[in-house]
Structures are given as structure tokens and as C-alpha cells.
């Protein structure tokens, strides 16, 4: 069985506790690897290594162009190892090989993009209103960043933080989910091979309760970048506030996928299926609330159910599998609990609605109709292959239902009217709006969670700003110093 230590200060080190956690293959339900069980001592060691690299090491002496070159080299190594990394992620989190290989193959683009941005970070000379004064600004890295990432797309969600943080000149301590740590530890080997100086990138593993609090409160940490659930995000926010650390949070969603009666129904059906059953619903942008206009409701549901019934469940490593297992046992239990809650609330289960006897943690693709937006199944994030279908009358009602939720991460709109596409997109309270598509992502397009879905941006030019701070510099060029007892206003 593969055993993974932690990567700290450019070295592979065992945990201070001397203990390890089993990493379980969700398809078989059996352990396939052992992951170091870190604690506060390991957190301190990693943060100190990152701080030293930022303050005194060769990283701080590299030019921005040199940093960019390292990032692009890392991108090349990731591209060459995409298949191997995807295979590890499939074994660790149970997602489909088709999806994880697509992600692993696309991830290098983040390092090319942000590698190119590294030496485009600029300040400005300000036309100040004071004679005899030169005033300019510099954009400088924050320092040590702690990245905390979940189990559903380990490398992609970590990359959303790693690429811009390194491009900005920060150093990193990454804490992946204890359920899916293997791929990020394999990634660390490629960081080392690319030639990054020791301490620039570190990975600590273990349980959040045992290592996470120290990471989020350590006085040398300048920023916490977190992706995960709302409860975890609130805990991180509160913990980081003790030392006024900067925080970015990419949290959950209860995203509406809205189908109007002028939509291309076949495309909309495909989009609805992709929005909820791809990745077994284990994505923060899942279109878990399907809003269908009443004039096409029966026709649309007939098509939707016909396609959903064809979904092939099974081994996620096989190319013909369309729905894989749930990644963790606690999440599997949570999904089944929510299915029971939906039934108790009066929703009608028209597809699935139970565990699938496949040997691992499988839940049947499930669709509920008769859902009202005040039901828990419509308001709370299930994070599984469970779809709530809600009927609406007109555009105003669709927008009202869509926005009547605590979250605001994403939304989908299906229509052939360009006017409706623009108007509805403008009215929806979400950071990402897809029109006639769903679950499209790009390194160059920002993701900003609205409402309870998060704080700050990931991806795009905006992302690098999350890891920078501004310094204003004043230089007196006059031959005499003004009266020292009077402020220059």
C-alpha cells in the first residue's frame, strides 16, 4: 500500500504524530493508500519553511519573469503527467476518468496563464497634487498563504489558488482534504522537479480539527484561501479574523438551472443532466434546482426522465460509466438523509431515491418533482446526484424563485431569446451565469461567489489581485523640507 509523508521545506517528512490515515477508494470501499496525520507541530514547521522562503530564500530574489518561467515549466510537467494524476484522483475520489483526465489535461493552462501574468503586475506613478513630490505605488505579494481545499476536484481547486499565489510571489502551505490528499502530494513532486526553491510550496495533510486551526491562526500566515462548505468557511473566517488575516472563500451553492419555453429542449435536457448528475452532483456549481416553465413542463420532464434513466453507473475508470460513486462515506450518508427529508416534506420521487447496490458508495440518480422553494431539499446544499424540479409561470417568477436562496454561486438560463438571456442574467444574484450551457470553466474567467457562496475571486486577472497588496511611496524632490510641524495637505 502506498504511504505518503508530508512535503515541507523541500523535503519529504513523516508526521510528528507518527500516525497515518487510510485513504479509501470510493468504488471498492477499501483502503489503497496511507496519508500522514499532521498536527499543530507539522503546521508550524510548514509555515516557518514558507516564511523563510518568502523572506530570506532565493524565491524572494527571483525576478517576476523568472517566477513566470518556473510556472510555465510546471505546466509542462503537469501536461506530461496528466494521465497518471487523473488515475490517482479517480482512485482517491471516485469521479469519472473522463472528467478527471479532462481536468488534469486542462490544469496546465492555469500555470501558463498565470506564468504569463507574473511579470505584468504593475504599480503606477500618481499625478499627485503636491509640488516637489514623486508618488508611486508598488503591487507586492502578501507573504505566506495557506490554501485549504476539498475532496471533489482536488488538483483543479488547489490550482485555482496555487497558480495566482505563486505568480504574485507568495509562498504556500496547502492542506488538502484528508479524503483526497494523494494527487496534491504527487503534484508536489512535480513542483520540486520544476525547480522551485525549497519552502515555496509545502503540503501538510491530516484532519482539519487537528491541524487546520493552527494553520488559520499562525501569526506568520498572511492569507487563507479556502474552498469547501459553508460551515467550514465560517469557521475559517472566524479563525482568521483573530489576526486580521486576508481571506478568500469559495463556498457552496444551490444553483438554479432555468428552462424557458422558447429553449431548445434537447439542449436544455442535456444541460440539466450535466448540471446535476455529472460528477455525481459533487460540485459546488451543481444545477441542483431545475426551474421549468409550466407551458413546457410535461414535455420537458418526459425527455428529462427518458435520458436520466439511461445513465450508466459503475466503475469510474471505465469510459462507458456515466455516474460514479460518492467520494466519502459521510457524504453518502448525508445524501441519503436528504432524500428521506425530501420525501417527508412531500416531494415526489420520480427517479432513483435510494442507494445503489454496486459495492461502493453509490446513490442512484434521483429526481424530485412537486418541490416548492421553501423545502429543505430546495434550500440546502445536498452535494449529490439529487435534482429538485420546480415549476414556474413567467420570467418574474423564475427570477424570484432563483434568487430566493442564501447562496449565489452559479445559475443557468436556457432560452433562444437574446433579450431574455441578457435581462435574466442581469437580474440573477449569482457570480457565474451560463446561457445555453452549464459547468463551463476557464482559467481566464473569474468566479466570484455572491451572498453565502463566498468572498473574493478565483481565476482570471482578478485572481492575482487576491494575493497582492499595494504600497504607496512618497519621495520629496524639493531642495528644502517643508515646515515639520504642519501636515502637507
Q: Which residues are catalytic?
A: 250, 284
Residue entry with cell 513630490: 133
Q: In whole angstroms, give the CA distance from residue 370 to residue 376.
A: 13
3-state secondary structure string, the chain? CEEECEEECCEEECCCCCCEEEEEECCCCEEEEEEECCCHHHHHHHHHHHHHHHHCCHHHHCCHHHHHHHHHHHHHHHHHCHHHHHHHHHHHHCCCHHHHHHHHHHCHHHHHHHHHHHHHCCCEEECCCCCCEEEEEEEEECCEEEEECCCCCHHHHHHHHHHHHHHHCCEEEEECCCCCCHHHHHHHHHHHHHCCCCCCEEECCCCHHHHHHHHHHCCCEEEEEEECCHHHHHHHHHHHHCCCCEEEEECCCCCEEEECCCCCHHHHHHHHHHHHCHHHHCCCCCCCEEEEEHHHHHHHHHHHHHHHCCCCECCCCCCCCCECCCCCHHHHHHHHHHHHHHHHHCCEEEECCCEECCCCCEECCEEEECCCCCCHHHHCCCCCCEEEEEEECCHHHHHHHHHCCCEECEEEEECCCHHHHHHHHHHCCCCEEEECCCCCCCCCCCEECEECCEECEECHHHHHHCCEEEEEEEEECCCCCCCCCCCCC
Query: What separation, in Å, do the N-terminal and C-terminal C-alpha atoms of the chain show?
Result: 69
Judge contact between 386 and 368, C-beta under 8 A. yes
CB-based burial label for 73 (10 Å; 0-12, 13-18, 19+)? middle
Planar angle of CA 201, 248, 226, nearest 5 degrees:
60
3-state secondary structure string, 256-276? EEEECCCCCHHHHHHHHHHHH
Amino acid at each position: 500500500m502506498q504511504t505518503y509523508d508530508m512535503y515541507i521545506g523541500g523535503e519529504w517528512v513523516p508526521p510528528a504524530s507518527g500516525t497515518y490515515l487510510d485513504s479509501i477508494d470510493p468504488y471498492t470501499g477499501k483502503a489503497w493508500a496511507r496519508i500522514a496525520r499532521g498536527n499543530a507541530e507539522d503546521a508550524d514547521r510548514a509555515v516557518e519553511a514558507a516564511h523563510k522562503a518568502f523572506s530570506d530564500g532565493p524565491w524572494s530574489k527571483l525576478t517576476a519573469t523568472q517566477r513566470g518561467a518556473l510556472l510555465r515549466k510546471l505546466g509542462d510537467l503537469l501536461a506530461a503527467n496528466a494521465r497518471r494524476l487523473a488515475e490517482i484522483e479517480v482512485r482517491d475520489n471516485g469521479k469519472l476518468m473522463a472528467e478527471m483526465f479532462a481536468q488534469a489535461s486542462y490544469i496546465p493552462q492555469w500555470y501558463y496563464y498565470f506564468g504569463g501574468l507574473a511579470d505584468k503586475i504593475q504599480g503606477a506613478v500618481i499625478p499627485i497634487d503636491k509640488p516637489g513630490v514623486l508618488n508611486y505605488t508598488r503591487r507586492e505579494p502578501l507573504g505566506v498563504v495557506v490554501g485549504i481545499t476539498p475532496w471533489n476536484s482536488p488538483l483543479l481547486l488547489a490550482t485555482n489558488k496555487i497558480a495566482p499565489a505563486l505568480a504574485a510571489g507568495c509562498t504556500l502551505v496547502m492542506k488538502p482534504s484528508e479524503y483526497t490528499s494523494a494527487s496534491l502530494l504527487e503534484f508536489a513532486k512535480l513542483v520540486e522537479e520544476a525547480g522551485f526553491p525549497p519552502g515555496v510550496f509545502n503540503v501538510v495533510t491530516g484532519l482539519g480539527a487537528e491541524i487546520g486551526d493552527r494553520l488559520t491562526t499562525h501569526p506568520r500566515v498572511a492569507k487563507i484561501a479556502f474552498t469547501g462548505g459553508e460551515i467550514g468557511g465560517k469557521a475559517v473566517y472566524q479563525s482568521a479574523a483573530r489576526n486580521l488575516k486576508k481571506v478568500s472563500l469559495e463556498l457552496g451553492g444551490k444553483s438554479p438551472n432555468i428552462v424557458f419555453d422558447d429553449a431548445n429542449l434537447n439542449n436544455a435536457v442535456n444541460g440539466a443532466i450535466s448540471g446535476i448528475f455529472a460528477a455525481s452532483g459533487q460540485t459546488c456549481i451543481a444545477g441542483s434546482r431545475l426551474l421549468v416553465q409550466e407551458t413546457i413542463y410535461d414535455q420537458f420532464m418526459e425527455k428529462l426522465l427518458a435520458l436520466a434513466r439511461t445513465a450508466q453507473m459503475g466503475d469510474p475508470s471505465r469510459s462507458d460509466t456515466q455516474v460514479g460513486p460518492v467520494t466519502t462515506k459521510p457524504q453518502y450518508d448525508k445524501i441519503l438523509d436528504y432524500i428521506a427529508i425530501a420525501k417527508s416534506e412531500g416531494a415526489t420521487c420520480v427517479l432513483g431515491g435510494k442507494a445503489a447496490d454496486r459495492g461502493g458508495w453509490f446513490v442512484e440518480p434521483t429526481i424530485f418533482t412537486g418541490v416548492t422553494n421553501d423545502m429543505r431539499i430546495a434550500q440546502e446544499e445536498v452535494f449529490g446526484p439529487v435534482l429538485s424540479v420546480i415549476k414556474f409561470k413567467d420570467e418574474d417568477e423564475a427570477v424570484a424563485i432563483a434568487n430566493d436562496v442564501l447562496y449565489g454561486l452559479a445559475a443557468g438560463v436556457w432560452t433562444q431569446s437574446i433579450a431574455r438571456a441578457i435581462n435574466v442574467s442581469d437580474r440573477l444574484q449569482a457570480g457565474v451565469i451560463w446561457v445555453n450551457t452549464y459547468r463551463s470553466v476557464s482559467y481566464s474567467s473569474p468566479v466570484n461567489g455572491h451572498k453565502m457562496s463566498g468572498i473574493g475571486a478565483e481565476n482570471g486577472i482578478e485572481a492575482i489581485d487576491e494575493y497582492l497588496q499595494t504600497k504607496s511611496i512618497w519621495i520629496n524632490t524639493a531642495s528644502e523640507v517643508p515646515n515639520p510641524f504642519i501636515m502637507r495637505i
